[in-house]
Amino acid sequence: MTIDIREAYRRALDAFGAHVHRVAAGQWRIPTTCADWDVHTLVDHLVGESLLAPELLAGRPAGEVAHLLDGDLLGDDPVKAFDVAAAAAVRAMDEPDVLTRTVRLSFGDISGEEYISELFADTLIHTWDLAKAIGGDERLDPDLVEVCARWFAGAEESYRQAGVIDERPPLPEDADPQTRLLAAWGRGA
C-alpha cells in the first residue's frame, strides 16, 4: 500500500480528532497509557505538534518557535484548540515542495518528508492511546498501520535509545499488524 505521507498524516489527525470530539467532560484528567500523561496532556501534546508544524515547515528553527508550546494550549475549549491547530498543520503541507524542505529541529536538520513521517507516526500511536483512555474504538486504520510499521522499522532503535519508547512487550506468534506496531512502540494491547 502506497499512501502519500501527507495524506497519511491528514487521516491520522482526522482519527485522533474524532476521539477528541468524543472526550466527555469528566475524562480530561483520566490517565492514558503514556507515562504521567492524562487525556488533557495527551491532547495538549498533539495540539503543540500541530502548532509547530507550519512554523517548522516554513523553515523556522525549533528554538525560535518553542515559545508556542508555553502554557496550556487547550484553554477553555480543548476541542476547538485541537481543530484549529490540526487545520493549520494540514494547510502547511499543501505547498508542493514541502517534502523536500529542510526542517530545523533541536537535534538537527531533517527533510520535510521525514518530519511529516514523525508527526504522522506520533499522531497514529497517540490515537490508540486516546481511544484506550476514553473507552473508544481502539482499532486503527489498517492502511495507516502498514505505512507506520514500514517507516518505524528504520526508526525504532533510535527511538528506543533516545528513551522515547519503552521496551517491546511479549507478543503471541499470531499477533495482528496493529498489535505488532503497538508493541514496537512499547505498548501492550
- 108, 65 Cβ separation under 8 angstroms: no
The residue segments making up the domain with residue 155 are 5-184
Nine cell digits for residue 162: 533516545
Asked if the structure places residue 108 within a domain, the reply is yes
pLDDT of residue 51: 97
CATH number at residue 57: 1.20.120.450
The amino acid at residue 25 is: A
Return the pLDDT at 119. Answer: 98
What is the rounded CA–CA span in Å between residue 169 and residue 183? 6
Per-residue pLDDT tens, the chain, 189 aa: give them: 689 999 999 999 999 999 999 999 999 999 999 989 999 999 999 999 999 999 999 999 999 999 989 999 999 999 999 999 999 999 999 988 999 999 999 989 999 999 999 999 999 999 999 999 999 999 999 999 999 999 999 999 999 999 989 999 999 999 999 999 999 999 986
Q: Is residue 189 part of a domain?
A: no
Residue 166, in any domain of the structure: yes
Within-domain flag for 116: yes
Quote the number of domains for the chain. 1
Does 98 map to a domain? yes
Cα(69)–Cα(110) distance, rounded to whole angstroms? Answer: 21
From residue 119, give the alpha-carbon distance in Å to each of 30, 148, 171. Answer: 24, 11, 26
Cβ atoms of 115 and 105 closer than 8 Å: yes
Distance CA 49, CA 84 (A): 12
Q: Does residue 106 lie in a domain region? A: yes
Asked whether the beta carbons of 181 and 143 are under 8 A apart, the reply is: no
Residue 31 lies in a domain: yes
Q: What's the rounded Cα separation, in Å, for the pair 183 and 16? A: 19
Is residue 127 in a domain? yes
Residue 21, Cα to own-chain centre: how many angstroms?
A: 17
